[in-house]
Amino acid sequence: MTSAGSQALPLAEASASRTPRAMVALFATASGLSVANVYFAQPLLDALAADFSISHATVGGVITATQIGCALALLLLVPLGDRVDRRRLMLVQLVALVLALVAVAVADSTALLLGAMLAIGLLGTAMTQGLIALAASTAGDHEQGRVVGAAQGGVFVGLLLARVYAGAVSDLAGWRWVYGLAAILMLTLAVALWRCLPQPTRVPVTLGYRRLLGSMLRLLRHDRVLQTRGMLAFFMFAALNVFWSALVLPLSAPPYGFSHTAIGAFGLVGVIGALAAFRAGAWADRGFAQRSTFAALLALLLAWWPLSMLDTSLSALLLGIVLLDLGGQMLHVTNQSLILRNHPQAPGRLIGLYMLFYAVGSGAGALATTWVYASAGWQGVCGLGAGISAVAMGFWLATR
């Protein structure tokens, strides 16, 4: 009787301490809306190239500017949430993000455009990863994978739907309104977050800012899980950006000549894969992280075969998008679930370091794919993506 009671008590406590579904939904929604700002430009590259007289071979630099901002956020802003009130920090970041969105909407020079895009990458990333770190710090150890997985699922759906939104608004009112309306939406989000977000349950660290940043180097040097999962993120996000940054170019040209709305709608197909991987965090909580990693990398690699058939079959393209985003989301959620377990007082720094691999991979993929497309066409793009995916699989097999 005593044994049964001792087992039942922890179970009851775990059940009682579960994060409410409404709060999990808020984390997911806010994360998705925040990250979407970073990805609006992808289906608009041809319009931006025309308005600012940028060649197709170099217009990928617009995406690279946002990724530079992402990298700066991960190094300088996201870790700051481990030592200050994260809710106040996010409110300041949201206001600054609104100003950056307005700057893009009214940009009249390439320099202003690139500078504002860098700011959007900086602030949109800081908001998104700050929300995930807050979700991790407020969730119990027994449900951290589930809560972080839900927030990360919102991120993935948000970045996919960003292309749909950007394409539709661009066709209806021009690309500048994509950013103008986003600024209004971010102001609304600021009010909702300030009223509803909980305080983190873990006490902030007392390190000074310089020592806080210095501790990131020690984490990176000594945490093998962070090192290996970070490299997998680098390869995975490079592969994803190889595809999404180049897709607008063949689909907007003959024989298809699709509108921005139609091209952006291809992101809706990716949501199927993202939602299918929603439970990857819960699987990691149950000890199945290596199995889900293999399944994710296999999906990522196989996706490039149907994607290479874009010239002859849109159905094959849709299948490839589902596989690509299924693999990417499953791997990403599994990675974050694993790295957050060893250092509960450092969610901001761990996420910042991990996502730094993502930012570098995304920027490299976006820059490389427009150059490869200009010189080798769509088949060259698919060869590049498949090669990166194969390297990711080989790296995991060598390090697991």
Contact (CB, 8 A) for 326 and 274: yes
Query: To the nearest whole percent, how much of the chain has pLDDT over 90?
Result: 28
Contact (CB, 8 A) for 156 and 325: yes
Supply the pTM of this predicted model.
0.73
DSSP states of 270-283: HHHHHHHTTTHHHH
Per residue in 299-308, pLDDT tens? 999 999 999 9
Return d(Cα 245, Cα 345) in angstroms, integer. 36
Residue 113, pLDDT > 70, answer: yes
Structure letter (DSSP) for residue 29:
H
Phi, psi angles (nearest 5°) of residue 85: -65, 110
Per residue in 141-161, pLDDT tens? 667 677 777 887 788 788 778
Nearest to 23 by CA among 102, 139, 188: 139
Residue in the block written with tokens 């009214």: 106
SS3 label, residue 119: helix
Cis ω for the linkage preceding 255 (within 30 of 0): yes
Residue 322, pLDDT > 80, answer: yes
Domain spans of the chain, in order of start: 21-198+215-399
pLDDT (0 to 100) of residue 378: 92
Per residue in 331-361, pLDDT tens? 988 888 888 777 777 778 888 888 888 878 8
Residue 207, pLDDT > 90, answer: no
Q: Which of 16-30, 103-117, 134-148 has the lowest mean pLDDT?
A: 134-148
Return d(Cα 175, Cα 35) in angstroms, integer. 18
User: What average pLDDT score do residues 121-147 get?
Assistant: 81
Q: Which amino acid is at 156?
A: F
Return d(Cα 83, Cα 95) in angstroms, integer. 21
Return d(Cα 63, Cα 40) in angstroms, integer. 10
Structure letter (DSSP) for residue 140:
-
Nearest to 148 by CA among 274, 31, 62, 269: 31
pLDDT (0 to 100) of residue 199: 64
DSSP states of 200-249: PSSPPP---HHHHHHHHHHHHHH-HHHHHHHHHHHHHHHHHHHHHHHHHH
CATH tag, 21-198+215-399: 1.20.1250.20
pLDDT (0 to 100) of residue 6: 40
pLDDT (0 to 100) of residue 15: 44
CA atoms within 13 A on the CB side of 378: 18
Residue in the block written with tokens 């607008």: 248
Q: Which amino acid is at 64?
A: T
